Chains A and B, each alone.
Chain A
Amino acid sequence: MKYKYWRRSRVIPFTLLLSNLVYVSFGLDPAASAPLVADTAFTKSAFYDQNEQCFRCHGNSKYTYFNPVSEKDVSATMCENRVIHRNEFYTANHRSFACVDCHAAEYDTFPHPGQLRMEAPYNCIDCHGYDEQYAQYHFEEIEEEFQQSTHYTANGDAFTCWKCHNPHTYRINIRNSTSMQQSIAYDNQICLNCHSDFERFQLLSDREEINLIQKHEWLPNQGLHFSQVRCIECHARLNDSLMVAHRIMPKDKSVKRCVECHSQNSLLMSSLYKFQAKESRSDAGFLNSIILNDAFVIGANRNIILNRISLIVFFASLGLMLMHLLLRMIFKRND
């Protein structure tokens, strides 16, 4: 009860404050699209100095505190997964936040009071749900999809959105993508955080380590595929209204048929190349969108013009040869 009250009483004022802050400081129209990460990378957070109170310890691998018993400064190592890098934090989506917007203000004491650890963090939907400003992201539908994903059904509430969306570093990627390669790498790294790091994986499941390379042995040019498509292309169920599909399917429902991608009506058109492909789903559209993205997908890229030319050349030669043959036969008889 107590915690619920705390949550609601803080969310409302601070979201209001923050949204105002955004409009004022960035001169943004509420309807305008999301600012590019690069544009704001160097803006200074309003909470920069306040956050330094936390970064003082959490920004480095070493921290120092005053021990009132021995009356000495003591240095200790900050365990790696509690280190937050300033540059990553200040380029993340929630860069305009103060640490204590999400974490209890009581964290300013050290050692941190033990009961703080028991508090449940906010969920994305608490702040973003049913908010017109974020309608384009469809948080509510993502939430629904996520709850049907294999991660949620197998691991329950322990698997939150934060497990993939690192609270301190996550930033939107593919939506504002300028480099497809980098966005693919970024998105795949999200999965690999657990799927190639057993230490994190085991926090959620008792399953044996899953060897990805071995599990995908059926896929030729594995390295190429993993750098040119995202894991979710094969593992998440397509959802037309979402930019990024969130329903990770059980393994036997993943895409294994090559022609799903390697064909003219490639699924990549409605997932990875969604935005580019939409503009021009005409004959030549897919080709162009792929050229822009540095990829060439056999079977999917078809140059309509080349195809037509080759057909013409083919039939013209065939016709010429037939005619030649015919003439040869005619003139032979006459001789």
Chain B
Amino acid sequence: MTEKVYHYPLWIRLWHVFNALLCLVLIVTGISMQFSEPNRSLVPFDLAVSIHNSAAILLIINYLYFLIVNRLSGNRMHYKITEKGYVKMLITQFRYYTLGIFRGEKTPFPVSEVRKFNPLQQFAYIVILYWFFPLIIITGLGLFFPEMIITRIFGISGLFLTDLFHILSGFVVSMFMIVHIYFCTMGTRLTSLFKGMINGWVEIH
């Protein structure tokens, strides 16, 4: 029997499953709108617009829920960079993913009672959740209430810039999702992290 830690309490799992589903819906409808064509569209345009809007509102609520409970529960500490020499740690982890893992080396930052994420993982989550989520939400709200947008920024249409940032951050989050799923196969075992996200308990190294 391997040792297990209860790293994913129910509230995280609930947040996470809703977050993942909503993101999926937003990506599909978003791509469908961006590449809409009269005769071949993933989702009919007007339907895509209303689904995208509704899913976005739910996502915002879900995100606020995450921000609040994450702080209250103390899970926030996993999202704080406390160690010195963080860049070095990132490089170490990167080296592990590109070389060490093939040589059968031990992971440099194993999951433990106190460590939930390796530095690269942590950094990715911070970037996505605390940088790109706010950006995508603010630009999305801007498109939802276009009256609020500054019409011109340095001679460029404000709406155009807003939309550009929205699409760019949408792309970043979509890419994150794919890479994220792949990296989740690199826990102690192929499925350890997925099991963890389902029942809360994750095997430690």
Contacts and interface: CB of A to CB of B under 8 A. Distances in A.
Interface of A: 218, 220-221, 223-224, 257-260, 262-265, 290-291, 294-296, 298-299, 301-303, 306, 310, 313-314, 317-318, 321, 324-325, 327-328, 331, 335
B84 interface: no
Contact of B38 (A259, A318, A331): A259
Nearest to B45: A258
Interface in B151-168: 151-152, 156-157, 159-160, 163-164, 167-168
Nearest to B48: A258
B185 to A, nearest CB: 8
19 contacts: A218-B46, A220-B50, A221-B146, A223-B147, A224-B146, A258-B49, A262-B36, A262-B45, A263-B38, A265-B37, A294-B152, A295-B159, A299-B33, A302-B34, A313-B171, A314-B175, A324-B97, A328-B101, A328-B102
Contact of A299 (B45, B164, B175, B178): B45
B92 to A, nearest CB: 18
B46 A220 contact: yes
B106 to A, nearest CB: 13
A317 B147 CA distance: 38
Which of A257, A258, A306, A325: most chain B CB closer than 10 A?
Answer: A258
Interface of B: 33-38, 41, 45-46, 49-50, 97, 101-104, 146-147, 151-152, 156-157, 159-160, 163-164, 167-168, 171, 175, 178-179, 182, 185
Contacts of B175: 313-314, 317
A224 B152 CA distance: 16
A310 B36 CA distance: 17
A258 B46 contact: yes
